[in-house]
Amino acid sequence: MVRETALHPRDFILPLFLHEDAEDTPISSMPGVTRWSLESLVREAGEAHALGIPAVVLFPKIDDSLKSPLPEECHNDGGLIPRAIRALKAAHPTLCVITDIALDPYNSDGHDGVVRRDDHGELTILNDETVAILCEQALCHAKAGADIVAPSDMMDGRVAAIREALDDAGFQHVSILSYTAKYASAFYGPFRGALDSAPKDGDKKTYQMDPGNSREAVRETLLDEAEGADMLMVKPAGPYLDIIARVRETTTLPVAAYQVSGEYLMLKSAAAAGWLDEKAVALESLTGIKRAGADMILTYFAKQAAQWLAEG
């Protein structure tokens, strides 16, 4: 009766991995998580939706032969993601389909942006060239029926550019969930293994945020709000609860938090070793993220947590 924060399946967004193969592949770096075929993806999303989960977010593993330095495949209307969006919306019209906007799965360099190398091998991420391609990617997903596009690339000015590109093409109704405060985190390791999307060289510290920074998250919040974001995200979640709370106080927009692959893996592996009670720690960590101020939580526990909550 006096509990202030209670979890509900509608708080969760389920991240789903997919690939071109007809077989489903368990992801070894993320126990309990699978890379799905298109057909299984539709089934899995349907099961999650039936448990009360309103939304999924899609992450593709792209064949090496389709990766390139100016990743054209990321806006191919016949590509894996547009086909997945169409299949999901046809099978589950009330499911909210969110797509990731970033170049890394398609980029032969493995970075979220376009890379230039100088004569000394020094590497620069080309912000504005990248933003133009991100707009094409967002349009491609909107055309296929995506409800929300979620730029995770951290380029400057991309929210305003994507908003304008969507509006100009008649997609005023497609929302933007911006990765507002996305930190350069070692907790993404297992995810990059799952998609084979780790940077070939260099790191993401020139565009993702410094874990020591908190005021910068406020600045990014104000910028994304002014640029027209509909929802803001903090990522990772558990080690950044203060940032979730600070973003929550700074904006009136809905706030999402992403419990990332490394956070999931820590709890999963400790539970597998018999050291922690999986259900208890998973629900406690998700409660903490919601208590800090997140309206929505992207979590690999989404389906299982919805089942646990139904058990009571």
Could you tell me the smallest distance in angstroms from the CB atom of residue 237 to ligand PBG?
10
Between CA 279 and CA 261 the distance in angstroms is 17
CB closer to ligand PBG, 30 vs 292? 30
CA distances (Å), origin 54, targets 91, 103, 112, 286, 308: 14, 26, 27, 17, 17
Closest of 98, 103, 251 to residue 177, by C-alpha: 98
DSSP assigned state of 119: T
Could you tell me the smallest distance in angstroms from the CB atom of residue 6 to ligand PBG?
25
Let me know if 204 is a catalytic residue: no
Between CA 144 and CA 87 the distance in angstroms is 10
CB closer to ligand PBG, 102 vs 177? 102
Could you tell me the smallest distance in angstroms from the CB atom of residue 72 to ligand PBG?
18
β-pairing, 34-36 with 25-26? Answer: antiparallel
| Half-sphere CA count of 248, side-chain side, radius 13 A | 16
Could you tell me the smallest distance in angstroms from the CB atom of residue 47 to ligand PBG?
20
Let me know if 279 is a catalytic residue: no
Between CA 46 and CA 90 the distance in angstroms is 11
Could you tell me the smallest distance in angstroms from the CB atom of residue 4 to ligand PBG?
28
Q: Which entry of 61, 67, 182, 204 is annotated as an active-site residue?
A: 182
Query: Rounded to the nearest 10 degrees, how much is the dihedral formed by the CA atoms of 126, 130, 131, 137?
Result: -170
Which residue's beta carbon is nearest to the bound ligand PBG? 191
State the residues that interact with ligand PBG by CB under 6 A.
100, 102, 104, 112, 152, 188, 191-192, 204, 260-261
CB closer to ligand PBG, 117 vs 205? 205
Alpha helix stretches (DSSP H) within 28-157? 38-50, 80-91, 127-144
DSSP assigned state of 239: G
Q: Which entry of 235, 268, 290, 303 is annotated as an active-site residue?
A: 235
CB closer to ligand PBG, 96 vs 233? 233
Alpha helix stretches (DSSP H) within 58-201? 80-91, 127-144, 158-168, 189-195
CB closer to ligand PBG, 209 vs 292? 209
Could you tell me the smallest distance in angstroms from the CB atom of residue 185 to ligand PBG?
8
CB closer to ligand PBG, 258 vs 274? 258
Closest of 207, 161, 204, 158 to residue 178, by C-alpha: 158
Residue 233: how many CB atoms within 10 A of its CB? Answer: 27
Catalytic residues: 182, 235
